Amino acid sequence: MSDEILEDTIMDEVTALPPSLMNNLAVSGDFYKMAFQFQQIMMIYESAIKQIETKLDILNKESSVNRTRNPISTVKSRIKSPESIAHKLEKKGLPINFESMMKNLNDIAGVRVICPYISDIYSVRDMLLKQPDLTLIKQNDYIENPKESGYRSLHLVMEIPVYLSKTEHHVRVEIQLRTIAMDFWASLEHQLHYKNSAHVPDSIRRELYRCAETIAMTDREMEEIAIELQALD
């Protein structure tokens, strides 16, 4: 289903507002109608997240049943706030409306998967790619090609169908896969930048990068130890 059809069908879901809200539209303009439409759209994104989380939970439980090591440690999810959505559209120089939001933003719905080891990240990625109802839209491998800051993670934009009572919607979800160590660095680095939104000195940037390199080396060494121990079993 194309983005245009997705937009049309979502708006078709908003068939009839409650009479009390319809009466208020004459006084308050389109505020209530827009709020109701936004709620409908967010419900569809939340449903897409739930489906991704269910898939990840099943895959992790399968590993437990097969008595192999669980490739997933933690799963977190979030929906972008209206403020974040508007800010990102404005930053990109795009119209701030529902159609622009759904067409241009891939990370309104986000799932973060925390794995014990680097190899687990690619194992989970491969398992997701085998799911027949998931379509890979985009992949950014910041593990093989870290950002200048030192940030490492595997980003996937995947499309999943959401079936409602009368309509079907194909929704994009951004899935970030990291090791525990990568998540530790990224979380603290984000907090430091958030609390110091002004210019971050180059000396601090270099220190953060050095920490990222140290953590990456630790990631590799811990996996080598795990492989050695597994060989002893």
Residue that the structure tokens 């000396």 belong to: 203
């597994």: which residue's tokens?
230
Could you say which of 7, 174, 223, 224 is catalytic? 174
Asked about 46 being catalytic, the answer comes back as: no
The rounded distance, in Å, linking the Cα atoms of 54 and 75 is: 10
Q: Are 210 and 185 in contact (CB under 8 A)?
A: no
- List residues with catalytic annotation: 174
